[in-house]
Amino acid sequence: MQPLSSPQPQNLYVNAEHDIISLRQAVRQMARGVGLGLPEQARITAAISEIARAFLLNGGTARFIIQVTDHNPHPALEVVCVLPFAAHANQTSYSLSEACALVDEANLAVLNDGMPLILRMWLNHGSQKK
């Protein structure tokens, strides 16, 4: 078993509906492993599912990186969603905003080669408020 402070980052690709199930399981497992409570596990899992499903339904695929970061000011469970085409953003903006509302912090950048969407759920959640 990995130490709680440094689980190995995971890379997952969503190309089909069954990939969303695997992604949900991986996110929930890492969230549980780093000590997030059931409400936080449910929120980040729901957010990631919403994003993956929205891009899949619009004909896109996405790569997800699940990791723990020491991001200041809060260590966090971080899920980076690398969305391949910025053009999909207009079709899925409602899903993105709904998903981002479920986590403690969300950042979206539009780059030439894609859109990295970073979602963070802070560790030691009891001491921080959204």
pLDDT digits (tens, 9 = 90+) for 84-110: 655 455 555 656 788 889 999 998 777
Q: Report the CATH superfamily, name and number, of domain 15-127.
A: Histidine kinase-like ATPase, C-terminal domain (3.30.565.10)
Domain ranges for the chain = 15-127
Top pLDDT among 39 and 72 is at 39
- Say whether pLDDT at 43 is over 90: yes
User: How far is it, in rounded angstroms, from Cα 66 to Cα 103?
Assistant: 14
1: confidence class by pLDDT, cuts 50, 70, 90: very low
Those residues with Cβ within 8 angstroms of residue 97's Cβ, 6 or more apart along the chain or in another chain: none
Q: Of all residues in the chain, what percent carry a pLDDT higher than 70?
A: 77
User: How far is it, in rounded angstroms, from Cα 126 to Cα 91?
Assistant: 35
